[in-house]
Amino acid sequence: MPKQKQSFFQRLTGAVDVDEEYEDDYEEAPEPRRARPVQRYEEEEVYEDAPVPRQQDEGWMEEEVTEGQLTVDVFQTPDEIVIRSIVAGVRPEDLDVSISRDMVTIRGIREEHKEVADDNYFHKELYWGAFSRTVLLPAEVEVEEAQALEKHGLITIRLPKIDKEKQTKLKVKAA
């Protein structure tokens, strides 16, 4: 069967006519390589490509104690940077807020009061335990003038920006 000339569109896009018969000259895929055994562990063969088995130590099922991470909103006004976070269930005196010129860290602990046994829960999604969050600030702030207010489980931290444009006149004294 003589090959028909391709249309301009077919040449431009590389499209082919599905009615034409084509013989595919595909190469056969190589046979997958079999890994060879390199070591035996208690009648179990371990292969080069296999992950090395971990030694199970005592207490491997115990959970690691980690801190929860607070969710925060950070925004700015012309004069200050504001950080807000939900800390419901935590007394203000149980919160620790550390501020430097370019970073704020909020830490605390939300203590669970056991009222029922774990067996009686249908869902248990609330986070209990230590939490923290460190926020890198987009501008330097006046640490001494910062304020924190907690109301209805929402902490609001107001951090006045350093005014780099601020100038003052310095009076020179005679010695």
**pLDDT value at residue 31:** 64
Q: For 72-126, what is each residue's pLDDT tens digit? A: 999 999 999 999 999 988 888 889 999 998 899 999 998 888 888 888 888 888 8
CATH class in words for 68-112+128-160: mainly beta
Q: What distance in Å separates the CA atoms of residue 21 and residue 14, rounded to the nearest whole number?
A: 16
Task: Note whether 65 and 141 are within 8 A (CB).
Answer: no
Residue 165 clears pLDDT 60, i.e. is over it: yes
Chain-centre distance for alpha carbon 105:
16
- Residue 129: CB atoms within 10 A of its CB come to 13
Looking at the chain, the whole-number percentage of residues with pLDDT higher than 70 is 65
Q: What distance in Å separates the CA atoms of residue 23 and residue 58, rounded to the nearest whole number?
A: 62
pTM above threshold 0.95: no
E-assigned strands of 8-102? 37-41, 44-47, 68-69, 72-76, 80-86, 96-99
Looking at the chain, the whole-number percentage of residues with pLDDT higher than 90 is 34
Burial label, 81 (beta-carbon count in 10 A; 0-12, 13-18, 19+): buried
Q: What distance in Å separates the CA atoms of residue 154 and residue 92, rounded to the nearest whole number?
A: 10
Residue 136 clears pLDDT 90, i.e. is over it: yes
Domain boundaries of the chain, sorted by first residue: 68-112+128-160
Backbone angle region of 37, left / alpha / beta, with phi > 0 → left and psi within -120 to 50 → alpha? beta
- Going by C-alpha positions, the residue among 93, 95, 72 that lies closest to residue 84 is 72
129-136/68-69 β-pairing: parallel
Task: Note whether 90 and 151 are within 8 A (CB).
Answer: no
**pLDDT value at residue 41:** 47
